[in-house]
């Protein structure tokens, strides 16, 4: 407080007059300060306030003092103000905060507060500054003040005698006065017991110091906090000495404890008045030293500086020691010093408070600064001016900012008014708050016609959702750019716009709307659309060109063309027709079309009478262009279009190189569609491409027909040549086989015939030998020795078996010769009825060696499933050749597969060939040869019977076997030969021939 309390031994509460009432400087400072100065009580009322309160708020001093200060605080700021006041009441010496104060006219001013609390006086000191105009650059008033610690009250001492051996303590003195406890409470406690009352933060330190004294025998003086009976910690000063025995061991501690708190209170009582005076002086000095604004003072006679605070040093560049004792002429240019002196004299003569809004002052560095200065005279008790006090506010930056802002606003206004783009802003509801003059050029409306209205009516209905989403994103805090949309001009036309936007924020940083720039891109959009359409047209033509290059199928090209045109032009129907203008038979034949699904097809031939109204145009190859069928004056034409359900039509006739007239028709059946010149040009290009396609297709068809003829001729030639070669081969083979069979058959018959006699002779000789052994069991030694040497017993046993084996071999040779003769059938070249099974067996006899087991694989199993077949009319030799080819191929496939398998795999899953026969419908015989080999791929099956096609390595096959077999079955026997196979599941060849050949 600014009250000075003078106290003596018996009077602590006598209050003297405030310092400013006895000190002229303090009075002048208090009354002339431009800041709010006040002394308030914790009861919520201000006790003292300076005139700045009345000047700022418009109230009288009585009105401000009679009401609790909280009633003037803005409702939103009362909670923060109460928290600050509570902080002061809780013992915080200084607190800073901001709030709004209500003026008499109902307005509020922003204030920055710095308050100092004096709890012992139940008062606080407050300094307030109006920061309404420059809150963004506010600088909180800092102040610091050194406060004296409270003088402890006079206290007595407690004396203790601690026996370190027994742990007992004897007490005397003011124990109860200090601690609140009776003396007996501490009789039986030692150091540890006493330490339980010491504050936890001090306990360890005290115990360590006591332990040190006990160990060294040194005296000690300790201060610490101690919990009294009331639960409140008091400050104690503990002094003592340690008594040690001859060995240096501590056995007693003698000491005294003083309540330092009471001593400090007593000291404060004795020096209260002096402390309050010093406190006030310190407070004022603190204000002067910590005020963020310059404060200077001059003595009234010669106007020499006597006060120059640090803020003045910082702004003007001169230290206080450089300034004190000097006048304005020593520091500033003469013209500035003259102005300062004139104002100073005016203040001193009028005893008035003068506010100088702006004055230019040159700093020590030569820089000119702009100051807002308040000057007042400090009078003594008689009213004579003693000092001149000036409070300075540096407004240079603010003035520069204001000038820069005005310049920026001017430039911005010029920019906006001359900009080619629309600059706008609207609130979060989409209501325009600003529109630059360019708005008229873009919309046809004056800006004032839409200020306060929504932008929604101007946006195209198809674009409103995307625009609203764009605005919502910007309003959420994101920047937006490149949004394209359409707006409606006043005349009803639509224009293309692009917008770049950003959030609009208030001074608190809250988003309050959207601002941005809109550019008219209608012309670039139209150019872009034209280029896009041109590209699409070129794409269509290029697509047809590529189709012509990649395909020679005119029908397919037509189908693609009408579909592409219908899609590209977005029409209901597109068709291509041939027009026959022969007078005897005139008609229009629609061969390809593409139309909407709900429309009926018009594929077909129509007599010219249906479209007689346009027949002349078609004959003359004239383009028929009808944008709106309702606008046609010719009743016949209108009736024709109405019957065809056509609202708009475009027909392009063209004579092709072949002489035929082709017609490309485009039509709409629902809406009216104007036809553009570039569209007609596009369709003419398409017709030219179609003519090229037709010519190429016709040429291709002619080439294909000729190639087909040559191919068939070549194939017939190859087949004839193959048959001749094979016939000659088989003839030679038959002659060879017949000759070999004849030559082998003669010696075999000779051997076979003699074996009968040899067998009879051998049996006779053995019988005779047996008789000798029976009747002459003891032969002469020479005979016995010879019989033993030749192993007579073995010969008698083996000789019959040997003759039997020779007979079997001879019979086997006869069978092979018979099979060779049956296979060649040179003597059976004509068709005759034969046993099919006999031919199969002959073939298998020849292939017997390939069926036998080898070192790397087991035997190939041959499974026969013969049906009950009658004799079949066929060419036996040729049929045997077919069987040989098919079975040989099966064995080749099985052997190749087995080479890739292990012997164990071959044994577990042996290779098999199954031959089955059956009679079909009493009319046909079927022979099925099936293997369990790797199977035949689908691609190979398709070419299996082609001449010279083979899958075997070079030199292993000619590719004629299956082709010849196919011819023998299909052409010679009027039967069928087909293959059925799947990979890894084997292959089956099924031969079907008639039972009787016609």
The 3-class SS string of 433-490 reads EEECCHHHHHHCCCHHHHCCCECHHHECCCCHHHHHHHHHHHHCCCCEEEEEEEEECC
| Whether the Cβ atoms of residue 545 and residue 689 lie closer than 8 Å to each other | yes
Q: What is the pLDDT of residue 711?
A: 79
Q: Looking at 620-676, list the stretches that DSSP marks H as alpha helix, in order from N- to C-terminal side.
A: 635-643
Which of helix, strand or coil describes residue 179? helix
Q: How many CB atoms lie within 10 A of CB 546?
A: 10
Q: How many CA atoms within 13 Å lie on the side-chain side of 937?
A: 4
- pLDDT for the residue 172: 79
> Stretch 657-667: mean pLDDT, rounded?
88
Average pLDDT in the chain: 82
* pLDDT > 90? residue 952: no
868-886 residue pLDDT tens:
999 999 988 889 889 989 9
Q: What radius of gyration, in Å, describes the C-alpha atoms of the chain?
A: 65
Q: What is the structure's pLDDT at 141?
A: 37
Q: What is the mean pLDDT of residues 341-351?
A: 88
Instruction: In whole angstroms, give the CA distance from residue 692 to residue 258.
Output: 124
User: Is residue 87 very low, low, confident or very high in pLDDT (cuts 50, 70, 90)?
Assistant: confident
Task: Return the structure tokens found at 756.
Answer: 């009968």
Cβ-Cβ contacts under 8 Å for 708 (sequence gap 6 or more): none
Which of 91-100, 499-508, 984-993 is the most confident on average?
984-993
pLDDT exceeds cutoff 80 at 412: no
Do residues 608 and 586 lie in contact, with contact meaning Cβ atoms separated by under 8 Å?
A: yes
264 to each of 153, 173, 268, how far by Cα in Å? 5, 20, 6
If you average pLDDT over residues 618-625, what whole number do you get?
A: 89
Q: ∠ CA(184), CA(185), CA(189), 5° rounding?
A: 105
Under the banding of pLDDT at 50, 70 and 90, the label for residue 109 is very high
In three-state secondary structure terms, 655 is strand
pLDDT in tens, 914-938: 999 999 988 999 999 999 999 999 9
CATH number of 19-137: 3.30.450.20
pLDDT surpassing 90 at residue 138: no
**Under 8 Å CB-to-CB from 582, ≥6 apart: which residues?**
none
Which residues have C-beta within 8 Å of that of residue 168, sequence separation ≥ 6?
Answer: 162, 187, 188, 190
Which CATH number applies to 849-994: 2.30.30.90, 3.30.565.10, 1.20.950.20, 3.40.50.150?
Answer: 3.30.565.10
| CATH 3.30.450.40 assigned to 551-675 | yes
> For residue 61, what are the contacts with CB-CB under 8 A and spacing of at least 6?
49, 53, 54
Q: Report pLDDT digits (tens) over 22-40.
A: 567 667 777 878 889 988 8
What pLDDT, on a 0 to 100 scale, did the predictor assign at position 266? 62
The least confident of 187-191, 343-347, 480-484, 840-844 is: 187-191
Secondary structure of 753-785 in HEC code, one letter for each residue: HHHHHHHHHHHHHHHHHHHHHHHCCCCCHHHHH
Of the listed ranges 172-176, 549-553, 588-592, 684-688, the one predicted with least confidence: 549-553
Strand, coil or helix: what is 174? coil
Name the band, by pLDDT with cuts 50, 70 and 90, for residue 270: low
Question: How many Cβ atoms sit within 10 Å of the Cβ of residue 884?
Answer: 19
| Highest-pLDDT range among 404-413, 602-611, 700-709, 943-952 | 602-611
Q: How much is the pLDDT for 647?
A: 92
Tell me, what's the pLDDT at 144? 33
The confidence score (pLDDT) of residue 11 equals: 37
Q: Is the pLDDT of residue 264 over 80?
A: no
> Quick one: pLDDT at residue 269?
67
Burial class of residue 888, CB neighbours in 10 A (0-12, 13-18, 19+): middle
Of the ranges 2-6, 47-51, 398-402, 754-758, which one carries the lowest mean pLDDT score?
2-6
Q: What tens digit of pLDDT does each residue of 460-517 get?
A: 999 999 999 999 999 898 888 888 999 999 898 899 999 999 999 988 889 999 998 8
Q: For residue 8, what pLDDT is reported?
A: 33
CATH code, residues 157-270: 3.30.450.20
Alpha-carbon span 700 to 704, nearest angstrom: 6
List, for residues 348-404, the tens digit of each pLDDT value. Answer: 888 888 888 888 888 787 888 888 888 898 888 888 898 998 888 888 888 887 777
In percent, the amount of the chain with pLDDT more than 70 equals 85
CATH superfamily placement of domain 293-400: PAS domain (3.30.450.20)
* Percent of the chain residues topping a pLDDT of 90: 22
Distance separating alpha carbons of residues 821 and 740, to the nearest angstrom:
10
- Give me the mean pLDDT over the 120-128 stretch: 85
- The full length of the chain comes to 998
Which pLDDT score is estimated for 427? Answer: 92
pLDDT band at residue 826, thresholds of 50, 70 and 90?
very low
Find the mean pLDDT for residues 559-566: 88
CATH topology for 419-520 is Beta-Lactamase (3.30.450)
Of residues 856 and 284, the one with the higher pLDDT is: 856
Residue 699: count other Cβ atoms within 10 Å of its Cβ.
11
Q: Is the pLDDT of residue 825 over 60?
A: no
Tens digits of residue pLDDT in 835-855: 999 989 988 888 888 888 887
pLDDT band of 150, cuts 50, 70, 90: very low
- Averaged over 754-760, what is the pLDDT? 82
Report residue 14: phi and psi, to 5°: -65, 125
């Amino acid at each position: 407080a600014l009250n000075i309390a003078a106290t003596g031994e018996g009077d602590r509460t006598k209050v003297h007059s405030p310092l400013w009432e006895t000190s002229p400087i303090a009075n002048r400072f208090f009354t002339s300060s431009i800041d709010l100065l006040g002394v308030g009580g914790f009861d919520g009322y201000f006790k003292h306030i300076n005139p700045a309160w009345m000047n700022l708020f418009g109230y009288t001093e009585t009105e401000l003092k009679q009401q609790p200060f909280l009633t003037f605080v803005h409702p939103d700021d009362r909670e923060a103000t109460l928290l600050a006041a509570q902080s002061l009441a809780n013992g915080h010496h200084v607190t800073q905060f901001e709030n709004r104060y209500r003026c008499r006219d109902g307005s509020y001013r922003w204030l920055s507060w710095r308050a100092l609390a004096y709890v012992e006086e139940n008062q606080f000191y407050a300094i307030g500054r109006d920061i309404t105009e420059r809150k963004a650059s506010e600088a909180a008033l800092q102040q610091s003040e050194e406060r004296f610690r409270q003088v402890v009250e006079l206290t007595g001492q407690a004396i203790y005698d601690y026996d370190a051996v027994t742990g007992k303590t004897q007490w005397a003195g003011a124990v109860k006065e200090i601690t609140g406890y009776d003396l007996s409470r501490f009789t039986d406690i030692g150091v540890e017991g006493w330490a339980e009352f010491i504050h936890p933060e001090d306990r360890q330190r005290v115990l360590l110091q006591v332990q040190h004294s006990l160990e060294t025998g040194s005296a000690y003086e300790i201060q610490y906090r101690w919990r009294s009976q009331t639960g409140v910690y008091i400050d104690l000063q503990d002094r003592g000495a340690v008594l040690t025995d001859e060995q240096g061991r501590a056995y007693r501690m003698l000491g005294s404890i003083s309540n330092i708190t009471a001593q400090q209170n007593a000291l404060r009582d004795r020096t209260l008045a002096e402390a309050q005076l010093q406190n006030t002086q310190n407070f004022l000095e603190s204000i002067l030293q910590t005020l963020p604004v310059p404060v200077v003072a001059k003595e009234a006679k010669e106007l020499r500086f006597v006060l120059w605070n640090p803020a003045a040093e910082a702004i003007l560049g001169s230290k206080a020691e450089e300034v004190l004792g000097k006048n304005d002429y020593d520091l500033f240019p003469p013209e500035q010093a003259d102005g300062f002196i004139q104002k100073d004299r005016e203040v001193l003569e009028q005893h008035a408070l003068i506010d100088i809004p702006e004055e230019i002052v040159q700093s020590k560095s030569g820089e000119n600064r702009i100051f807002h200065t308040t000057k007042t005279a400090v009078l003594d008790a008689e009213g004579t001016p003693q000092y001149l006090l000036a409070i300075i506010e540096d407004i240079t930056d603010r003035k520069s900012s204001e000038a820069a802002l005005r310049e920026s606003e001017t430039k911005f206004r010029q920019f906006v008014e001359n900009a080619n783009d629309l600059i706008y802003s609207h609130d979060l509801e989409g209501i325009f708050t600003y529109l630059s003059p360019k708005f008229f050029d873009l919309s046809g409306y004056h800006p004032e016609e839409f200020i306060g209205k929504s932008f929604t009516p101007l946006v195209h209905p198809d674009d409103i959702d995307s625009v609203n989403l764009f605005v919502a994103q910007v309003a959420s805090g994101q920047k937006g750019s490149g949004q394209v949309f359409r707006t409606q001009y006043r005349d009803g036309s639509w224009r293309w716009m692009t917008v770049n936007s950003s959030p609009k924020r208030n001074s608190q940083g809250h988003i309050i709307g959207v601002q941005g720039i809109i550019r008219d891109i209608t012309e670039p959009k139209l150019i872009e659309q034209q280029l896009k359409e041109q590209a699409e047209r070129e794409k269509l033509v290029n697509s047809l060109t590529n189709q012509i290059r990649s395909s020679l199928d005119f029908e397919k090209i037509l189908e693609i063309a009408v579909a592409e045109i219908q899609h590209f032009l977005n029409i209901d129907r597109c068709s291509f027709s041939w027009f026959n203008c022969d007078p005897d038979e005139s008609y229009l034949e629609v061969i390809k079309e593409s139309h909407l699904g709900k429309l009926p097809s018009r594929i077909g031939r129509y007599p010219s009478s249906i479209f007689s109204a346009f027949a002349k145009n078609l004959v003359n190859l004239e383009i028929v262009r009808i944008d709106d069928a309702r606008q046609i004056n010719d009743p016949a034409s209108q009736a024709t279009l109405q019957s065809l359900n056509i609202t708009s039509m475009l027909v392009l006739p063209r004579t092709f190189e072949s002489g035929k007239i082709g017609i490309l028709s485009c039509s709409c059946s629902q809406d009216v569609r104007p036809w553009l010149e570039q569209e007609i040009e596009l369709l003419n290009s398409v017709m030219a491409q179609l003519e090229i396609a037709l010519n190429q297709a016709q040429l291709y068809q002619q080439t294909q027909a000729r190639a087909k003829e040559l191919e068939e001729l070549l194939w017939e030639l190859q087949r004839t040549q193959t048959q001749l070669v094979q016939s000659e081969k088989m003839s030679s083979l038959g002659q060879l086989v017949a000759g070999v069979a004849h030559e082998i058959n003669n010696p075999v018959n000779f051997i076979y015939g003699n074996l009968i006699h040899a067998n009879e002779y051998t049996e006779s000789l053995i019988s005779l030998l047996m008789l000798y052994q029976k009747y002459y069991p003891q032969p002469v030694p020479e005979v016995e020795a010879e019989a033993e040497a030749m192993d007579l017993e073995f010969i008698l046993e083996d000789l019959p078996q040997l003759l039997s084996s020779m007979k079997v071999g001879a019979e086997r040779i006869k069978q092979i010769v018979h099979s060779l003769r049956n296979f060649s059938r040179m003597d059976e070249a004509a068709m005759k009825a034969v046993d099919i099974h006999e031919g199969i067996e002959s073939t298998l006899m020849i292939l017997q060696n390939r069926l036998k087991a080898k070192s790397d694989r087991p035997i190939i199993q041959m499974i026969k499933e013969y049906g009950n077949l009658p004799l079949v009319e066929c060419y036996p030799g040729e049929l045997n050749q077919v069987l040989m080819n098919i079975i040989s191929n099966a064995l080749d496939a099985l052997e190749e597969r087995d080479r890739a398998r292990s012997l164990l795999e071959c044994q577990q899953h042996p290779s098999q060939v199954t031959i089955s026969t059956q009679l079909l419908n009493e009319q046909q015989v079927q022979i099925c040869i099936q293997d369990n080999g790797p199977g035949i791929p689908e691609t190979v099956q398709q070419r299996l019977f082609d001449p010279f096609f083979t899958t075997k390595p070079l030199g292993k096959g000619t590719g004629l076997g299956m082709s010849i077999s196919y011819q023998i079955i299909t052409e010679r026997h009027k039967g069928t030969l087909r293959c059925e196979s799947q990979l890894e599941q084997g292959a089956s060849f099924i031969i079907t021939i008639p039972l009787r050949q016609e």
